[in-house]
Amino acid sequence: MHKLSTPITKMLNIDVPIIGAPMFLVSNEDMVVAISEAGGIGTFPSLNYRPTEDFLRALKSIKQRTSKPIGVNIIVNKSNLRQAEDLKHSLNCGVELYITSLGNPKDVIREAHKNGAKVFCDVINIEQAKKVQDLGADAVVAVCSGAGGHAGPTTPMVLIPWLKEQLSIPVIAAGGIANGATMASAFCLGASAVHVGTRFIASSECQVTTNYKQAIINSSPEKIIFTDKVTGTPCNFIHTKDLDNHKSLPKFINRLKKNKTLKPFISPLLKIMGKKAFINSLTTQKNIWSAGQTVGLIHDIKPCKDIIEEMVTSYHEALHKSPR
């Protein structure tokens, strides 16, 4: 497999600029190890393992199975009461990359840099991007429209070059990446790496239900619905009858969110309620599945290693096919 050198591969000492996106209740030990061993970097949310003792066991297991760099996603808002403890465990285990979401990453950046680790921060606009750059972030993850999970409102065709133009740190493309052609387009726009989630759901290492994987394969971009009814924050899901029938969070909560005095208390509550609803929907086998618009480009289930090798091969093919 050809190596691809970018500022991100050099920063993380990896072979290819492919990050296995940390997916809530989806990413697992096998996926992290397989993606890192294949030359990319596997990551997972610390909150995928509950309680925190299970997270520590997972970390130690991953570190025993691969000597390659790995990453941990830490939610950095007040609703995550575990963030300090999870960060401590991650630092003690020598985690090389931290991806922060939904809050202020200053503590993670400070502590990670003491360990020589890198911090990438999810952003959806230039305001967020400049804030985390000023705090010392090593790169930003540009979460664009069409991404699985919590997506931003802006197309990657605009957001990536806009951030690239305005920032001095690397930009990572998230949303719309599933094969070599889409990866090549992200690099042409100015990205230094790609953040891939939905494609890795349809992998042999992923432990979601067979129905979930088949839904990925059978869906199309038109079947992806952007809604806040499941988690309380707008997310992309595959359109199913169970999604239609899922009860939204009470409307009065959204009204309370607009109150400046109550918002700091209501927002964390909303996230907690939404997470519990989402966890319940999965554990009861309801057909509520998060995914990005790349479902239309995914046609099979295969090992993470093969997915990465295929992406790199088709990336080079796409470059040769492009007009000169």
Question: What pLDDT is stored for residue 120 in this prediction?
Answer: 98
* Phi, psi for residue 97 in degrees, rounded to 5: -135, 140
Distance CA 292, CA 168 (A): 28
- By CB atoms closer than 10 A (0-12, 13-18, 19+), residue 259 is exposed
Note down pLDDT in tens along the chain; length 324 residues.
678 999 999 999 999 999 999 999 899 999 999 999 999 999 999 999 989 999 999 999 999 999 999 999 999 988 788 999 999 999 999 999 999 998 899 999 999 999 999 999 999 999 999 999 999 999 999 999 999 988 999 999 999 999 999 999 999 999 999 999 999 999 999 999 999 999 999 999 999 999 999 999 999 999 999 988 777 778 899 998 888 887 665 554 555 555 555 555 445 545 444 444 444 544 444 788 999 999 999 999 999 999 999 999 999 999 887 665
- Identify the structural domains of the chain with CATH numbers, from first to last: 7-208+296-321 (3.20.20.70), 210-283 (no CATH)
Q: What is the pTM of this model?
A: 0.89
Q: Tell me: the pLDDT tens digits for 214-256? A: 999 999 999 999 988 777 778 899 998 888 887 665 554 555 5
Distance CA 247, CA 203 (A): 30
Q: Tell me: the pLDDT tens digits for 40-67? A: 999 999 999 989 999 999 999 999 999 9
Q: What share of the chain is helix, strand, coil (3-state, %, to 5)?
A: 50, 15, 35
Question: What pLDDT is stored for residue 260 in this prediction?
Answer: 54
Distance CA 191, CA 183 (A): 9
Q: How far apart are the first and last CA of the chain?
A: 24
